[in-house]
Amino acid sequence: MKRAVLTLAIAAAPLLSQATEFDVEIHNPTRGLYFTPLLVAAHPEDVSLFETGNAASSELQAMAEGGNLTGLVNLLNAAGATIDENPAAGLLAPGQSATATLNTNNAVANTRLTVVAMLLPTNDGFLALSGLDIPTEPGTYTYHLNAYDAGTEANDEVRGSGEPGQPGIPVPPPLDPILGSNGTGVENSAEGYVHIHRGNLGDTTPDGGASDIVSTLHRWLNPVATVTVTVK
């Protein structure tokens, strides 16, 4: 009798060890921040896109400074990750939500969930859910995400191209009319390591001043995003 019970327990274990299909809803609860195209991935336990306190990779830098996901997607694909790229089909505006659906049925090793996107307007700020152990029981799970600073670019808070290694904030069309211009730049330097973002400083001078960021619209307190995982 004991042997039969043990055999049943072993046979049932794989059914409980992995959520094969689940939805990941990302909500932007901020007043004035936009999220660049989101990257949502289920991946093996030993994969990590960044570590706080350590220098950012070039792939993370490209995402954090310009919203470019190509390098991170290549890394995740090489690790056999299950990916939903850009579920919002562009920028995710304040107050809006987007949902990614992941199916890991053919990739049982993909037990961790990561979500990243650049925050606009920032120099190298990004939101992140990093390496979450994907819930195995059916249900709804909610997580609140902090903003991180890649530490690769000085937070000068002025308009720019967003190209890695080039200072300045990318300015896609939705941001253009609500940002200031001709800022002289906030005195700062790149920290050299990933850390929790201190937030934007900004000012209330639309033409000139130190910053092109509008303090009454683009400042924030963590968290900056809400992620809801629904395991089916």
pLDDT recorded at residue 100: 98
pLDDT confidence bin for 17, thresholds 50/70/90: low
Distance, in Å, from the CA atom of 169 to the CA atom of 184, rounded to the nearest integer, reads 13
Q: Note the pLDDT of residue 108.
A: 82
Segment 57-75 shows an average pLDDT of 97
Reported confidence tier of residue 18, pLDDT bands at 50, 70, 90: low
pLDDT over 80 at 12, yes or no: no
The predicted model scores a pTM of 0.90
Pairing outcome for strands 82-85 and 39-43: antiparallel
pLDDT tens, residue by residue, 178-203: 999 999 999 889 999 999 999 999 99
pLDDT at 14: 38
Question: Which residue, 109, 121, 116, 102, is CA-closest to 200?
Answer: 121
Per-residue pLDDT reduced to its tens digit, 162-184: 788 888 999 999 999 999 999 99
With beta carbons less than 8 A apart as the criterion, state whether 28 and 92 touch: yes
Q: Do 160 and 170 form a contact (C-beta atoms < 8 A)?
A: yes
Rounded Cα distance between 147 and 116, Å, is 10
The predicted structure's pLDDT at residue 164: 80
If you search the block for the tokens 């990004």, which residue do you land on?
A: 126
Mean pLDDT within 53-76: 98
Which of 146, 138, 142, 134 shows the shortest CA–CA distance to 107? 134
Average pLDDT over residues 129-149: 96
Structure tokens at 199: 């937030």
Contact (Cβ atoms closer than 8 angstroms) between residue 209 and residue 180:
yes
Helix (H, G, I), strand (E, B) or coil at 218: helix
Please give the full DSSP string across 119-160, using - where no structure is assigned.
EES-SSEEEEEEEEE---SSEEEEEEEPEEE-SSS-----B-
Mean pLDDT of 126-130: 98
Q: pLDDT per residue over 68-104, tens digit each?
A: 999 999 999 999 999 999 999 999 999 999 999 999 9
* CATH 2.60.120.620 assigned to 17-231: no
What are the residue boundaries of the structural domains of the chain, listed by start?
A: 17-231
Rounded (5°) CA angle 115-229-126:
20
In the chain, % of residues over pLDDT 70:
92
Summary mean pLDDT of the chain: 91
Backbone φ and ψ of 64, nearest 5°:
-75, -30
